[in-house]
Amino acid sequence: MLAPRIALPTAACNLPIRQAIDAVGNSGASGVMFDLRDEVKQQELGETGRRQLLHYLQERDLKLGACTFNLRRSLVDPELLDARIDAVKQAMSFAWELGSRVLTLRLGQLPATDDAAAQDQLRFILRDLAGHANRVGVVPTFMTSADPTVLAGLLNEIKEGPLGIEADPAALVLARRSPTDWMRELHSFIEHIQIRDAMRDVGGLGKEVAIGRGEVDWDEVAAMLQEMEYRGWLTVIRNTGDDPVADMTRGVKYLKSLLLM
């Protein structure tokens, strides 16, 4: 495997954007992830602002990795569907303007296989987004822990352009799936990998914990990345905890120790 491309999400630093970029620069990561809905907003950042922001990254020897767009509803929720798809398309175009080639977003629960109308609606949406991806050069990459065989079958039907999947080993553990088996089946679609950890509790639920302190078998994940010859971004994230920057910095060090052995 080549030197890993490790990013941190600036939004998870809970700091103003420039201070967050400085924190990422001090973490050992080589890139950042921007949230294009709640943090770096197209309507608030003109051409001059974009140039200044990207120059600030360059001065700190950082690159923009994937971007994310935080949907508040499932992608296929019928309420405000047209507005939601238009917003995703605008975010994809904005990601391209910033220099990113991957936009992550939540897919939501897949429709039941016997719900033909919902299945057709999902395929229509995916074809629409794939066509836009083909035009702007940014891959819509879906966060999901759904059944890998169903996902692969669905994505293989879409020929209009590229679609991707984000692998999140922590979410897969909580969904009682094997991260490595899931990633192996979907390896040709994986465009982004989220690096966080989780632990299930006795009630069958679970919680996010610091990387290396949960149930994800990181040695197996590292071997899987080698097997896949993965070349994309690995984004270390910490959504909870008292000091997410310190936790993510330790996560970067831990991930490097696994991948650079």
The model's pLDDT over 182-233, given as tens digits with 9 standing for 90+, comes to 999 999 999 999 999 999 987 668 899 999 999 999 999 999 999 999 999 9
Mean pLDDT score of the chain = 94
Q: Does the domain at residues 5-259 carry the CATH identifier 3.20.20.150?
A: yes
Instruction: Give the pLDDT confidence score for residue 205 in this predicted structure.
Output: 80
pLDDT tens for 138-181 read 999 999 999 999 999 999 999 999 999 999 999 999 999 999 99
User: Can you tell me the mean pLDDT for 27-39?
Assistant: 97
pLDDT band with cut points at 50, 70 and 90 for residue 261: low
Tell me which residue of 71, 172, 183, 85 sits closest to 127, measured CA to CA: 85
Q: Is 103 left (phi over 0), alpha (psi -120 to 50) or beta?
A: beta
pLDDT tens for 109-145 read 888 888 899 899 999 999 999 999 999 999 999 999 9
Instruction: Give the pLDDT confidence score for residue 84 in this predicted structure.
Output: 95
CA dihedral 173, 100, 57, 39 (to 10 degrees): -70
Instruction: Give the pLDDT confidence score for residue 11 in this predicted structure.
Output: 96
Sketch the domain layout of the chain as residue ranges: 5-259
pTM: 0.95
pLDDT band with cut points at 50, 70 and 90 for residue 235: very high
Instruction: Give the pLDDT confidence score for residue 50 in this predicted structure.
Output: 94
Instruction: Decide if pLDDT at 87 tops 80.
Output: yes
Three-class DSSP category at 117? helix
Instruction: Give the pLDDT confidence score for residue 73 in this predicted structure.
Output: 87
CB 124 within 8 A of CB 90: no
List the beta bridge partners of residue 139: 102
Instruction: Decide if pLDDT at 104 tops 90.
Output: yes
Rounded to whole angstroms, the Cα distance separating 205 from 223 reads 27
Rounded to whole angstroms, the Cα distance separating 190 from 230 reads 9
Instruction: Give the pLDDT confidence score for residue 114 in this predicted structure.
Output: 86
Instruction: Give the pLDDT confidence score for residue 2 in this predicted structure.
Output: 57
Instruction: Give the pLDDT confidence score for residue 204 in this predicted structure.
Output: 66
Instruction: Give the pLDDT confidence score for residue 36 in this predicted structure.
Output: 97
